């Protein structure tokens, strides 16, 4: 049908997610679809776009297929063409699923109406539907199907009408095996008043019984959908012409409103109980008809017991006065800009920078930030945030990271900054403390959050959320009053402080709880589909019910957010698809892992290297023996000679388990089998890597007829992995684009070897820490989850995925078992 020409973007999230899973495979998946759609030039993907799709496997919830479908939606690709391409590439499962989904979109737009006529007259019943092409119609009288030549069309014509035609009729609209029924229409006959029969035609001609009517009852006014506020008045009107006169009956959510029997429904003071759907039934002795559905949304009240009128008090100032008469605020707003029936907010993109500082050089060491950043990273990725997560940054690295974060922002983007570590607040300004801050630090050694917010506003962001999990005590060493840039009145700022002014934030040192107090409660609520401030209010209420925090730590919320924006809002990029693609690449370039490598030694041993990301600046390398000659009885491949830029604990390198290598949790069942052991080495502080990462594989082996151990060494270069590409160690000029990363699609020179980055390595999330003091952890209690990359370029079998645990459920936190002696605060001194 021509009117059914919907875009891929009209599909729901559930349908798109399922299609994405079907397309996320290497044999018949998104790459083949990208080739199929290129038969039309407007849907042809560039190399940069294909690379960006491939890089999605690095994200916990990333999906190359979902990214490709999003681009097709941006370019208004029709569902017809998508279905054609799926059939062309012979993806039967996806084609069948999309076909069945399209069939579910069938909607009846014109219902058959009850009619009366005289014997010998002409009766036309009409049923029309919208939906996928090729809709079929079947007409039934009672249970008997009508099989004549007019029975398989939208119109059933009974001419001449006979007494046998009297009865109840229904139409079945179907597409394949999916169908929908119309409402019943009653056809009845009345005796003629003279020799000429009275003809009744549904197509618009008048009936002599009821002049001006098509079916005996003609609706002339329909109720309209509205958005109102609590306390407003609501008026819905519906009217019809008929003979005998029409009676009215109103329904709210399909429940009769027995007190309302007129054409006008009036509710003088609306409450939230009045939201929902309204319909009016109009009927007389012979006919019955239903009005359209009117949807009423009810928002919170803006005023109480009075309206507000703006009074001009001069050129430079205005004041708002109360008034007891005149139109209410909602009516005034409607006069200027009538609201739509339902207001939906969306982001042009969603970006988050998460910093956790633990290992301070001159201050108390912290335990919680590593788990807090991990928890929030996973939750934000579930809501489609692009997340950069960094641990243990010095002053220069924090400044550079913020500059890179600002490059990812643009008009309408949701920006979120989270910091866990030492901090303080002076004169209303909050300061984040880097790990290299001196013992008596001042504002010049720290980062001012309000200055960052000012720079975020310059990007015209849609939402600015700053979550500060740190102390807010006064810094006695700092008497400088910082004057941040002037904030604009954008009404889109939300500050969530883990604690109150002049108070401390705490973390719990306990074997079964790894998070700080704030994240322990935030992780339960952050994914709720609520306004950000409502969600944080609930977090504060939860903290207030916790015995250990009551009177010691309370969340403080500061906000001027005027719209119902939520972290779960959908991303719509149609208006800025180019900048969205640039942000995708800008973000992905900082999350590129080296490809898995297979090395052949002279002795005949084959060694595989794999790579996994814990955070954006922490990587694990594992080595395993793939093949060895029979005459070699023992063999292992150890990594050595790492550059001094990165941080490696030599005592924990080349360990047989992730736990021994310094990772906090592992799942024995999903590690490579004991018959093919692996050695793990954990590399931290990749942001300090100034050149390509080079190291040496030292192969130790022993022949069966020899006692002495033999060594072979091979140098390895794997480029600059993860965040090291951004050169955060280099100074950035303020308010300027960094030299290390440009914000245009053409500037990303991705090497050929990274076109399927991470393809054989395992991108995995950092596990939740389950202990504060002890370094031993029972892995048997860990939960199982894996993120296996999509494809591999290695000719050998890839090892099983490194697996990270899921977050600890909040239900494991038992407030009554806490002791205040177990709590450690994020001291600012």
Would you please indicate which residues are annotated as catalytic (active-site) residues? 422, 471
Phi, psi of 423 (to 5 degrees): -165, 175
Show the tokens assigned to 198: 């009275």
Show the tokens assigned to 277: 């759907």
For helices 30-37 and 64-74, the axis angle rounded to 10 degrees is 20
Peptide bond before 291: cis, by omega within 30 degrees of 0? no
CA distance 518 to 526: 11
- H-type alpha helices, 136-258: none
Show the tokens assigned to 375: 């928890």
Q: Which residue in this structure is represented by tokens 């092409």? A: 133
**Can you say how many angstroms the Cα of residue 799 is from the centroid of all Cα atoms in its chain?**
31
737, 687, 708, 758: which is closest to 394 by C-alpha? 687
Instruction: Sort 632 into a burial class: Cβ within 10 Å, 0-12 / 13-18 / 19+.
Output: middle
CA distance 242 to 220: 11
CA distance 368 to 299: 39
The residue ranges of DSSP E strands in 176-253, in sequence order, are: 178-181, 185-189, 217-221, 226-229, 234-237, 239-242, 247-252
Distances (CA, A) of 623 to 477, 603, 612, 649: 49, 17, 12, 17
Show the tokens assigned to 449: 């959050």
CB 493 within 8 A of CB 467: no
CA distance 721 to 618: 10
Task: List all residues 6 or more positions away from 678 whose beta carbon is below 8 Å from its beta carbon.
Answer: 622, 623, 624, 656, 671, 672, 799
Reduce the DSSP state of residue 89 to 3 states and report it: coil
Q: Which residue in this structure is represented by tokens 């999605």? A: 56
Three-state SS string across 546-562, please? CCCCCCCCCCEEEECCC
Task: List all residues 6 or more positions away from 348 whose beta carbon is below 8 Å from its beta carbon.
Answer: 410, 411, 412, 413, 462, 571, 572, 573, 575, 576, 579, 580
């Amino acid at each position: 049908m021509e009117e059914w020409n919907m875009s891929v973007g009209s599909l729901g999230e559930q349908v798109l997610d399922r299609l994405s899973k079907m397309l996320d495979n290497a044999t018949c998946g998104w790459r083949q679809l990208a080739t199929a759609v290129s038969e039309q030039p407007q849907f042809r993907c560039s190399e940069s776009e294909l690379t960006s799709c491939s890089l999605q496997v690095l994200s916990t919830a990333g999906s190359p297929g979902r990214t490709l479908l999003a681009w097709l939606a941006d370019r208004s690709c029709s569902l017809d063409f998508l279905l054609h391409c799926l059939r062309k590439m012979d993806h039967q499962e996806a084609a069948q699923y999309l076909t069945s989904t399209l069939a579910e979109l069938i909607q009846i737009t014109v219902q058959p109406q009850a009619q009366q006529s005289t014997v010998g007259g002409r009766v036309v019943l009409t049923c029309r539907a919208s939906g996928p092409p090729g809709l079929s119609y079947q007409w039934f009288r009672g249970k008997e199907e009508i099989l004549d030549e007019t029975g398989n069309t939208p119109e059933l014509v009974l001419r001449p009408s006979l007494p046998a035609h009297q009865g109840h009729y229904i139409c079945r609209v179907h597409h394949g095996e999916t169908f929908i029924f119309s409402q019943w229409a009653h056809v009845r006959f009345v005796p003629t008043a003279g020799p000429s029969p009275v003809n009744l035609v549904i197509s618009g001609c008048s009936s002599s019984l009821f002049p001006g009517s098509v079916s005996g009852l003609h609706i002339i006014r329909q109720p309209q959908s509205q958005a109102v506020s609590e306390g407003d008045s609501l008026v819905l009107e519906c009217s019809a012409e008929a003979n005998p006169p029409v009676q009215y009956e109103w329904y709210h959510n399909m429940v009769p409103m027995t007190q309302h029997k007129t054409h006008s429904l009036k509710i003088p003071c609306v409450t939230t109980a009045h939201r929902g759907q309204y319909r009016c039934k109009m009927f007389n002795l012979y006919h019955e008809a239903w009005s359209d559905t009117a949807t009423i949304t009810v928002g919170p009240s803006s005023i109480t017991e009075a309206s507000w009128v703006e009074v001009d008090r001069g050129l430079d100032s205005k004041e708002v006065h109360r008034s007891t008469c005149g139109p209410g605020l909602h009516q005034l707003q409607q006069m200027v800009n009538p609201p739509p029936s339902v207001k939906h907010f969306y982001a042009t993109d969603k970006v988050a920078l998460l910093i956790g500082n633990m290992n301070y050089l001159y201050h108390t060491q912290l335990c919680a930030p590593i788990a807090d950043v991990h928890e929030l990273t996973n939750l934000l990725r579930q809501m489609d945030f692009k997340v950069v997560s960094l641990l243990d940054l010095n002053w220069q690295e924090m400044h550079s990271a913020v500059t890179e974060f600002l490059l990812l922002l643009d008009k309408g983007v949701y920006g979120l900054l989270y910091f866990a570590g030492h901090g303080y607040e002076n004169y209303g300004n909050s300061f984040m403390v880097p790990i290299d801050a001196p013992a008596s630090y001042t504002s010049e050694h720290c980062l001012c959050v309000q200055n960052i917010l000012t720079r975020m506003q310059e990007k015209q962001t849609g939402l600015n959320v700053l979550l500060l999990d740190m102390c807010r005590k006064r810094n006695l060493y700092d008497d400088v009053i910082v004057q941040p840039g002037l904030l604009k009145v954008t009404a889109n700022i939300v500050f969530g402080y883990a604690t109150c002014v002049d108070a401390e934030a705490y973390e719990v040192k306990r074997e079964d709880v790894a998070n700080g107090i704030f994240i322990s409660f935030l992780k339960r609520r952050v994914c709720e589909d609520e306004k950000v401030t409502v969600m944080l209010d609930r977090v504060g209420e939860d903290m207030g019910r916790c015995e250990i925090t009551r009177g010691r730590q309370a969340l403080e919320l500061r906000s001027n957010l005027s719209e119902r924006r939520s972290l779960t809002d959908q991303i719509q990029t149609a208006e800025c698809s180019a900048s969205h693609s640039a942000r995708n690449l800008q973000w992905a370039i900082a999350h590129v892992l080296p490809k898995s490598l297979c090395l052949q030694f002279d002795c005949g041993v084959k060694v595989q290297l794999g790579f996994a990301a814990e955070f954006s600046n922490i990587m694990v390398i594992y080595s395993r023996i793939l093949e060895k000659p029979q005459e070699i009885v023992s063999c292992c491949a150890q990594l050595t000679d790492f550059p001094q830029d990165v941080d490696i604990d030599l005592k924990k390198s080349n360990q047989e388990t992730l736990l021994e290598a310094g990772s906090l949790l592992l799942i024995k069942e999903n590690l490579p089998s004991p018959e093919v052991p692996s050695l793990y080495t954990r590399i931290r502080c990749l942001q300090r890597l100034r050149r390509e990462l080079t190291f040496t594989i030292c192969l130790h082996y022993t022949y069966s007829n020899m006692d002495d151990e033999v060594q072979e060494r091979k140098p390895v270069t794997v480029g600059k992995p993860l965040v090291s590409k951004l050169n955060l160690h280099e100074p950035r000029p303020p308010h300027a684009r960094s030299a290390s990363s440009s914000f245009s699609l053409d500037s990303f020179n991705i090497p050929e070897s990274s076109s399927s980055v991470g393809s054989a390595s395992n991108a995995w999330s950092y596990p939740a820490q389950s202990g504060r003091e002890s370094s031993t952890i029972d892995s048997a209690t860990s939960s199982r989850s894996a993120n296996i990359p999509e494809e591999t370029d290695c000719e050998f079998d890839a090892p099983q995925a490194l697996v990270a645990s899921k977050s600890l459920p909040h239900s494991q936190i038992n407030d009554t078992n806490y002791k205040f002696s177990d709590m450690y605060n994020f001291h600012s001194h």
